[in-house]
Amino acid sequence: MNFDTSKFEPNNAEANFKAFREHFGEDWPKVMTVLTTWESVGVLIHRGDMDFHGFYDLFSGVIIQTYETFSFYFEPIREQAGDKNMEWFIWLADRIIEYENEGSGTPPAHIAFKGWKPPKRTV
């Protein structure tokens, strides 16, 4: 997605939120649904109510792509010590990136499991 980042002002969270929302127009509720879902998953993983590895296998690429695409919006939030907006999404993206940087991540499934075959049916 291409964003005109000139519409985003340093240290002006309210104006940046408005510009972000205006960019998506009528699709804004869909964007917020996705972002708040990732936010909720961050809490669930942190509390141990959701398995990190299963989530990682399913969504790590999407989380990283989402974070990188919207980093112009998320990075200023990170810089404000008291800003709790998207705090758990940012936390989740950090954990996934750290996991991969430590060498614990896996290659994409189409590469890592290229030779996998389903078990033969017994019935």
Q: What is the pLDDT of residues 73-88, one digit of tens each?
A: 888 887 877 888 889 9
Q: Which of 89, 85, 95, 86 is nearest to 41 (CA)?
A: 89
Residue 99's Cβ-count burial label (10 Å; 0-12, 13-18, 19+) is middle
Q: Which of 84, 74, 72, 89 is nearest to 37 (CA)?
A: 89
Average pLDDT over residues 84-94: 91
- Record the pTM: 0.81
| C-beta atoms surrounding 45 within 10 Å | 21
Average pLDDT over residues 82-95: 90
Give the Cα separation of 104 and 98 in Å (integer): 9
Higher pLDDT, 8 or 116: 116
| In the chain, where the domains are located | 5-112
